[in-house]
A and B are shown apart, each in its own frame.
Chain A
Amino acid sequence: MTVAAIKEYVGVARDRVENFNGKQLVYASWDHHLLFAAPFLLYAAPQMSFRELVEGPLTALVQPDPDGASIDWAQVEWLKSNQPWTPDFDRSLADNGVGHKDQIRFRTPGLTSLAAA
């Protein structure tokens, strides 16, 4: 549908990747671990390897959860855009197809310290 308007109405997308200083946004979410109130917003260069993203900011961010230290990243189940997905840890975000504003999710079956009582 279009916006009701008195003349042609065309918007300009504000959060285009070229506005992010050579970097991009990546959203990451740990399924069933809602101590973290919302998916994380990460700011990373597309050349960053997936391993750097995981072992750097992501590992640091999940530590407050009692399961944080127990994650075995090699066993994690991944989703991208809500579809099962297998990242290559040694390749870059770009090579892994992790684009600007992509949402990745990870699942850790068995880690349920703060799960529903």
Chain B
Amino acid sequence: MDMKVAKKKLGLKEKYRLMTRDLGWEPSYRTKDEVFPYVKYEGIKVHDWDKWEDPFRLTMDAYWKYQAEKERKFYAIIDAHAQNNGHLNITDGRYLSALKVFLQAISPGEYAAHKGFSRVGREFPGVGTQVACQMQAIDEIRHAQTQIHALSNYNKYYNGFHAFADARDRMWYNTVARSFFDDAMSAGPFEFMIAIGFSFEYVLTNLLFVPFMSGAAYNGDMATVTFGFSAQSDEARHMTLGLECIKFMLEQDPDNLPIVQGWLDKWFWRGFRVLGLVSTMMDYMLPKRVMSWREAWEIYGVENGGALFKDLARYGIRPPKGWDDAEKSIDHMSHQFMLGLYQWSFGTSLHSWIPSDEDMDWLSAKYPTTFDKYYRPRWDHIRKLAAEGKQFKNFGLAKLCQTCQLPVVFTEPDDPTISCHRETTYKGEKYHFCSDGCQHVFENEPEKYIQAWLPMPALFAELDGDIGKWMDWVSLRDGQDNGDYVGSIDQRNFEQWRGLATSNS
């Protein structure tokens, strides 16, 4: 009689061991140093790579299964969006500007992260790390593709989406994100992990993806919610990888602590500057707002970031150096940045606008100590100029920060009435910064940052200040992609098509 023996199902831990560590081998005809030549020069000491483990214990077979499921869910919604004129279901055409920032600044960053993880997956010797980095590399290219694919549905109808890659590389408000990723990708593998895996994923992506995507849902944009949450479901794994990686470095050797702390200080601040864009998307570009940038910072910065650094204190880690300056800027940054976008809107591949009375009342309720005092008088004056037919355009262009590359729209941490002026001289050349944080980053590695390609100086060095040539070069179509939303082609089309969709006339 045959006994049917149930095939023993592997436990999670056993399966993980078989499908990660057991895939590795010891090199026999080349030394380990020859096979992994980039793993020591940053000074991080690792004694046992097998101590690194993915807490989710995700193996490739399960990975493909769940990712396929996520893709099916994603495309079901993207198809429905395209078939049902989803672009007309958004609350207001102003919302499109948030999507343009996202596509121009963030999606190419996903692609950069893909390249970076492909590289460090090869450079790290540990098999667990290699497998996790391989998964993350595939995740990141999926994010870039799904985001571009979802937003291509908007490109069929609206301006400012068509040349996102040029905008990313060349446009002054996007090079903050580009330089962040270029900086990480030109660092060693461990620093890359801290930059992307830890600072960006763990400390910062929650602020980017979670409240903003919930905001997209609130504004009727199911396409964006879907790619956002689909991407963020991978981020949960990436964050966990980033946190594991940092704990692994700290547990491997006490000499690693000062190096790791230095990277945390640097990458927290660099990431925080990228979030300047996000603060503006949340406070100004969502017609219906879920929460303010300040409220999001309370949850994901103060509460969650605070918990994280309290947890890491057992290894001797302290909160990043710029933490207090970050807190001081929270109630200012979105306003400072939106005022900049508006006055330089002749040079943006997106529309900006003067906030309405209702918007300003919301902002003053959310920012009771700053908005009415500092920012409302400026908006009121800008509105007065517009009413007189003199739209405020600042043709002075802007001083950029040598490190983060943003226009220096930021003020002294303790005096919001004056620009933050920071400069240094290195090898006879003058360099300017937006903050102490960016100056510290520069001074730790000046040879790296003196090479920075800064978009506004480049307009003069490369094009002798010719704005028309510059517009061609950044693929900006004057009168279509740029300027005030009010009176734009996007506004006219959105309102006309929405009218057609909701009436029979």
The answer to A–B direct touch (Cβ < 8 A) is yes
Can you name the residue of chain A whose Cβ is closest to the Cβ of B343?
A37
**A27 interfacial by beta-carbon distance below 8 Å:** yes
Determine the chain A residues whose CB is within 8 A of the CB of B452 once the complex forms. Answer: 14
Q: Which single member of A21, A64, A102, A105 contacts B392 (CB below 8 Å)?
A: A64
Q: Which of B77-112 contact A (CB under 8 A)?
A: none
Contact yes or no, B450 A11, CB < 8 A: yes
Q: Give the contact-size bracket for chain B.
A: 35 or more
Can you name the residue of chain A whose Cβ is closest to the Cβ of B336?
A37
Determine the chain A residues whose CB is within 8 A of the CB of B418 once the complex forms. Answer: 31-32, 34
Nearest Cβ on chain B to A42's Cβ, whole angstroms: 7
Contact yes or no, A61 B394, CB < 8 A: yes
Contact yes or no, A27 B451, CB < 8 A: no
Determine the chain B residues whose CB is within 8 A of the CB of A16 once the complex forms. Answer: 429
Contact yes or no, B417 A116, CB < 8 A: yes
Q: Which of A1-24 contact B (CB under 8 A)?
A: 1-6, 9-16, 19-21, 23
Contact yes or no, A116 B421, CB < 8 A: no
Can you name the residue of chain A whose Cβ is closest to the Cβ of B38?
A6
Q: A3-B448, A11-B448, A23-B460 are in contact. Are A38 and B408 (CB under 8 A)?
A: yes
Can you name the residue of chain A whose Cβ is closest to the Cβ of B385?
A64
A9 and B429 CA atoms in complex are apart in Å by: 18
Residue among B42, B43, B408, B427 with max Cβ neighbours from chain A (10 Å): B408
Q: Which single member of A37, A100, A105, A115 contacts B421 (CB below 8 Å)?
A: A105
Determine the chain B residues whose CB is within 8 A of the CB of A54 once the complex forms. Answer: none
Can you name the residue of chain B whose Cβ is closest to the Cβ of A28?
B396
Contact yes or no, B450 A14, CB < 8 A: yes
Q: A14-B452, A27-B399 are in contact. Are A99 and B430 (CB under 8 A)?
A: yes
**B387 interfacial by beta-carbon distance below 8 Å:** no
Contact yes or no, B423 A81, CB < 8 A: yes
Determine the chain B residues whose CB is within 8 A of the CB of A29 once the complex forms. Answer: 399, 419, 421
Determine the chain B residues whose CB is within 8 A of the CB of A101 once the complex forms. Answer: 429-432
Q: Which of B248-275 contact A (CB under 8 A)?
A: none
Can you name the residue of chain A whose Cβ is closest to the Cβ of B421?
A82
Q: A3-B448, A14-B452, A25-B457 are in contact. Are A41 and B399 (CB under 8 A)?
A: yes
Determine the chain A residues whose CB is within 8 A of the CB of B461 once the complex forms. Answer: 15, 19-21
Q: Which of B354-397 contact A (CB under 8 A)?
A: 372-374, 376-378, 381-382, 385, 390, 392, 394-397
**A84 interfacial by beta-carbon distance below 8 Å:** no
Can you name the residue of chain A whose Cβ is closest to the Cβ of B41?
A6
Contact yes or no, B378 A114, CB < 8 A: yes
Can you name the residue of chain A whose Cβ is closest to the Cβ of B445?
A3
Q: A11-B451, A12-B451 are in contact. Are A1 and B444 (CB under 8 A)?
A: yes
Q: Which of B430-456 contact A (CB under 8 A)?
A: 430-432, 443-454, 456
Contact yes or no, B392 A103, CB < 8 A: no
Nearest Cβ on chain B to A101's Cβ, whole angstroms: 4
Q: Which of B36-51 contact A (CB under 8 A)?
A: 37-38, 41-43
**B220 interfacial by beta-carbon distance below 8 Å:** no
Can you name the residue of chain B whose Cβ is closest to the Cβ of A19?
B461
Can you name the residue of chain A whose Cβ is closest to the Cβ of B42?
A4
Determine the chain A residues whose CB is within 8 A of the CB of B456 once the complex forms. Answer: 41
Q: Which of B400-416 contact A (CB under 8 A)?
A: 400, 407-409, 411, 416
Contact yes or no, B427 A39, CB < 8 A: no
Contact yes or no, B396 A14, CB < 8 A: no
Contact yes or no, B409 A38, CB < 8 A: yes
**B295 interfacial by beta-carbon distance below 8 Å:** no
A14 and B426 CA atoms in complex are apart in Å by: 13
Contact yes or no, A66 B381, CB < 8 A: yes
**B464 interfacial by beta-carbon distance below 8 Å:** yes
Q: Which single member of B43, B373, B399, B427 contacts A13 (CB below 8 Å)?
A: B427
**A74 interfacial by beta-carbon distance below 8 Å:** no
Q: Which of A79-117 contact B (CB under 8 A)?
A: 81-82, 99-103, 105, 114-117
Contact yes or no, A13 B451, CB < 8 A: yes
Q: Which single member of B374, B376, B445, B460 contacts A25 (CB below 8 Å)?
A: B460
Determine the chain B residues whose CB is within 8 A of the CB of A9 once the complex forms. Answer: 447-448
**A40 interfacial by beta-carbon distance below 8 Å:** yes
Contact yes or no, A5 B399, CB < 8 A: no
Q: A3-B447, A41-B397 are in contact. Are A15 and B419 (CB under 8 A)?
A: no
Q: Which single member of B339, B377, B449, B464 contacts A21 (CB below 8 Å)?
A: B464
Q: Which single member of A40, A81, A114 contacts B381 (CB below 8 Å)?
A: A114
Beyond A37-B409, A43-B460, A61-B395: 18 further Cβ-contacts under 8 Å? Answer: A2-B445, A3-B448, A13-B451, A27-B432, A28-B396, A34-B418, A35-B392, A38-B407, A39-B398, A41-B400, A43-B465, A64-B390, A82-B421, A101-B430, A103-B421, A103-B432, A114-B378, A115-B377
12 A-B pairs (CB sep. < 8 Å): A2-B445, A5-B41, A10-B447, A11-B447, A14-B454, A28-B396, A32-B417, A35-B392, A40-B396, A82-B423, A101-B431, A116-B416
Q: Which residues of A contact B (CB under 8 A)?
A: 1-6, 9-16, 19-21, 23, 25, 27-29, 31-32, 34-43, 57, 61, 64, 66, 81-82, 99-103, 105, 114-117
Q: Which residues of B contact A (CB under 8 A)?
A: 37-38, 41-43, 187-188, 191, 336, 339-340, 343-344, 372-374, 376-378, 381-382, 385, 390, 392, 394-400, 407-409, 411, 416-419, 421, 423, 427, 429-432, 443-454, 456-457, 460-461, 464-465
